[in-house]
Amino acid sequence: MRKKTSLYKTIDFHPIGEAIKAARNKRNFTRDQAAEIIGISAGYLNAIERRGKKPGFDVFVSTMAFFDLSFDDFIYPDSSAKKKATLLRQIVEILGDLSDKELLLVRSFLDTYKTSDVRRVE
């Protein structure tokens, strides 16, 4: 049986490292400042940014979140899939601010919409 390879292991991190460096520079952080906040050494951040070093998953998630970068941009080369993933992420962010009562209302609307004829019109 063939061993499954995780998506994380197959990704080329050079473009991600470049995006991290660009985001760091845009926010006017030195490499030392950003590394301290993320909780890694400046040398490790340098290796990620310049050599495309694959960080541990926890460091990767922390770094992407700190710089407000989307992993979707790197794993969805198809622009329609990327747009959908971005839209879904934005919706989840909005839903996170709703009360339980508001969430139930949204769910009720979506359940009704899924079964309606309106959905079939395009």
Measured between alpha carbons, how far apart are the two ends of the chain, in Å?
44
The whole-number pLDDT of residue 20 equals 94
DSSP 55-91: --HHHHHHHHHHTT--THHHH--SHHHHHHHHHHHHH
Res. 122: pLDDT tops 60:
no
pLDDT of residue 2: 54
Tens digits of residue pLDDT in 78-94: 667 767 777 888 888 88
The answer to pTM > 0.75 is no
Q: How many whole angstroms separate alpha carbon 58 and alpha carbon 103?
A: 30
Amino acid at site 94? I
Task: Give backbone dihedrals phi and psi of 110, rounded to 5 degrees, phi first.
Answer: -65, -40
Q: In the prediction, which pLDDT does 7 show? A: 64
From CA 20, how far away is CA 12, in angstroms rounded? Answer: 14
Q: What is the spatial distance between Cα 19 and Cα 13, in angstroms, rounded to a whole number?
A: 10
